Amino acid sequence: MPPSGPELALATDTLPAREADMKEPLESLLINEKENGEAVIIGGMVLDIHATPSVNPAPRTTTPGKVHYAAGGVARNIAECVSKLGTKPFMISALGSDMSGEQFDSGVGPHGLNTMDGICYWSTGSLQDYQLKERYLTPQWIQQFKSNIASAPIVMVDANLSQPALEASCQLAAEVGTPVWFEPVSVAKSRRIVSVAKYVTFASPNEDELIAMANALSDKDIFFPIQKDGIPVTSLFQQLKPAIWVLLEKGIKVVILTLGSKGVLLCSKHHLNFQNIVPNRTSKSHNISQKLHEIINQVCPSDRFFSGLKESSRSSPFVVHFPAVLSSSVVRLTGAGDCLVGGSIASFCVGLDLMQSIAVGIAAAKATVEERYLTPQWIQQFKSNIASAPIVMVDANLSQPALEASCQLAAEVGTPVWFEPVSVAKSRRIVSVAKYVTFASPNEDELIAMANALSDKDIFSPIQKDGIPVTSLFQQLKPAIWVLLEKGIKVVILTLGSKGVLLCSKHHLNFQNIGPNRTIKSHNISQKLHEIINQVCPSDRFFSGLKESSRSSPFVVHFPAVLSSSVVRLTGAGDCLVGGSIASFCVGLDLMQSIAVGIAAAKATVEVEANVPTEYSLEQITADASTVYLGATVVFSRSML
């Protein structure tokens, strides 16, 4: 159920199950009660599901444990943070009528989420489906809450909104003089800023989202991601200043640039009047927010930055660095950025100024990352599982301490590690664990980010792969690949989408025995997979007749993709490539065979709606794997020179 806290008024479009249900005017379903001073939050919400075993899992049996439902979604996270700091936000969102939607619906009253202000039902609407949110969280739905927006100190919109809904929200706020806070959500969605920048007072990107927004607003890609590790904040600002300036020139008044452990940069084109940038529409505060207002005004004097400032200086650019508050018990960073925004908005609503509000937001973010689970200590208890495993896969969603603990533990017991980078930003976490990693599976953008991070300087830039032959693509990417191999990663498995996969190693290695022989007790399908793949994909294909002198030279193999005639979507394909490869390791197939199976599994994934197919066809997987394996070619080997 959604967590408890102070009240949160919630307006949700849940969409009708029958056409007839749409005949009743939405206005008749609305509760007219509203309070002056409610921040309006417009965006998405999802239900996150976490399962935690209470004992070490055992094969062929059920495992007792706990399943925890956590309410999520950027806008919803921000709204909850605002409410827990004692002010009552008004949220406009879409709620599906699936099981996840019912979890929210049944929990709104007893768990602090106030009565729905407008509900109509749609039987196929899913809370988890953002396409449905974009379809039904419409400008018309948002328009009816104009009075709430007019009385709000601030409106927060997240980039999960469709472009029409985003534009309608911002235009409505502009009409009634309410400031808009734009939360980018992700690199891809941050580009939705283009049509609304002129309405936005505050935007809170991280550095990667900043680059994407600046490129979108410039209508060309002239800015590239940077490596911030080890760089002083002043130098970091100088590198990012041109991109920041694009946002300010396009109309955004304040860029609140979040830099993780380096804190926050607040940037504006002019000094502005930060003490009165938000209209005086303070809310009826709960006890906690009244105390927050009193104490912050005592310990954070509002005139600190502006007392004695000459009038002539007020028209010049203004940048302030707010340091992060370091935590001694960070487990994960998910939600920290949302709580920074939520803490800042809650502070606006009780009358604190911008500078004070950002300080409170950073403190709220710090509280968010101090969580109890997935610590190095938690991972340590599974040492016996790691010791008996054929392979350990870690993804870069892990915090740095948890990632390091996992890799070190695997190294101690001689278990190979597969590192999955997850995203460009998170891929940089490779730096402290590269020496422990056997396999890494970046795409070309993640490869560039990892190589720059491992080089401790930005010497590689993204490339354009469309229309370029694989051999030429390899030549362009070879220096970056070599950085990863030189830093200790034994095999780079570079995923190239429709161009297939490049398997790259510093030496030929013994790909038939690269991991310990810890095959699992196989189910029927995996036994058959092992038998058939060994028949159609001979394990000695790449190495028979290879001279001993050639085994110490670099080795690169290209595995072609298996083209699908019915691509539905690409989400999950990379994960299933990794999953298919790992499953193959576990039944005793060698690396080359395993990659072929992984590519076949990825092909099956793009043909279905789900992230992972409900079931795989053994016949199709083995046929596709055979096509991939027999079509693979050696792209580079010293023995070819």
467 and 348 inside one domain? no
What per-residue confidence (pLDDT) applies to 565? 58
365 and 384 together in one domain = no
Q: Do residue 344 and residue 476 come from a single domain?
A: no
First-last CA distance in the chain: 63
Range of the domain at 115: 8-50+67-304+312-369
Determine, yes or no, domain membership for 641: no
- In this prediction, residues 435-445 reach a mean pLDDT of 94
Tell me: do 287 and 362 sit in the same domain. Answer: yes
Among residues 495, 520, 539, the one where a domain terminates is: 495
Say if residue 76 is in the same domain as residue 120: yes
Whole-angstrom distance, CA of residue 393 vs CA of residue 440: 10
**181 closest CA partner among 326, 297, 104, 79:** 79
Supply the pTM of this predicted model. 0.51
Q: Which amino acid is at 453?
A: A
Q: Are residues 253 and 274 in the same domain?
A: yes
Identity of residue 314: R
> Tokens 């699908």 correspond to what residue?
564
Are 182 and 288 within one domain? yes
Domain shared by 151 and 171, yes or no: yes
User: Which among 353, 369, 385 is the end of a domain?
Assistant: 369
How far, in Å, CA of 539 to CA of 560, rounded?
18
d(CA 136, CA 91): 15
Residues 161, 26 within the same domain: yes
pLDDT at 174 over 90: yes
Q: How many domains is the chain partitioned into structurally?
A: 2
CATH code, domain with 417: 3.40.1190.20
* 326 lies in some domain: yes
Residue 72 belongs to a domain: yes
Burial of 620 (0-12, 13-18, 19+ CB in 10 A): middle
Residue 1 is assigned to a structural domain of this protein: no
Single-letter code of the amino acid located at 429: R
Average pLDDT, the chain: 76
Q: Helix or strand or coil: residue 48? A: strand
For residues 386 and 272, membership in a common domain is answered with no
Asked if 437 and 430 touch (Cβ cutoff 8 Å), the reply is yes
> Any idea which of 166-180, 312-326, 508-522 has the lowest mean pLDDT?
508-522
What burial letters (b/e) apply to 79-105, b meaning 16+ CB within 10 Å? bbbbbbbbbbbbbbbbbbbbebbebbb
Residue 632 lies in a domain: no
Q: In this structure, is residue 512 part of a structural domain?
A: no
Closest CA to 81 of 280, 344, 316, 317: 344
**Is the domain of 109 the same as that of 255?**
yes
Q: What is the pLDDT of residues 27-61, one digit of tens each?
A: 222 323 344 457 787 876 666 666 767 677 767 56
Query: Residue 623 falls within a domain, yes or no?
Result: no
CB 564 within 8 A of CB 606: yes
Could you read off the pLDDT of 491-546 as tens digits, one per residue?
999 999 888 999 999 877 655 556 556 555 555 667 788 889 889 888 777 766 55
- Does residue 421 fall inside a structural domain? yes
8 pLDDT band, cuts 50/70/90, is very low
Comparing C-alpha atoms, which of 100, 44, 47, 99 is closest to residue 72? Answer: 47
Q: Give burial (CB, 10 Å; 0-12/13-18/19+) of 66.
A: exposed
Task: Give the pLDDT mean for 354-362.
Answer: 81
Q: Of all residues in the chain, what percent carry a pLDDT higher than 90? A: 30
Q: Whole-angstrom Cα distance, residue 273 to residue 303?
A: 11
Could you tell me if 263 and 320 lie in one domain? Answer: yes
* Residues in the chain, total: 641
**Domain end call among 450, 470, 495:** 495
344-375 in b/e form (b: 16+ CB < 10 A) is bbbbbbbbbbbbbbbbbbbbbbbebbebeebb
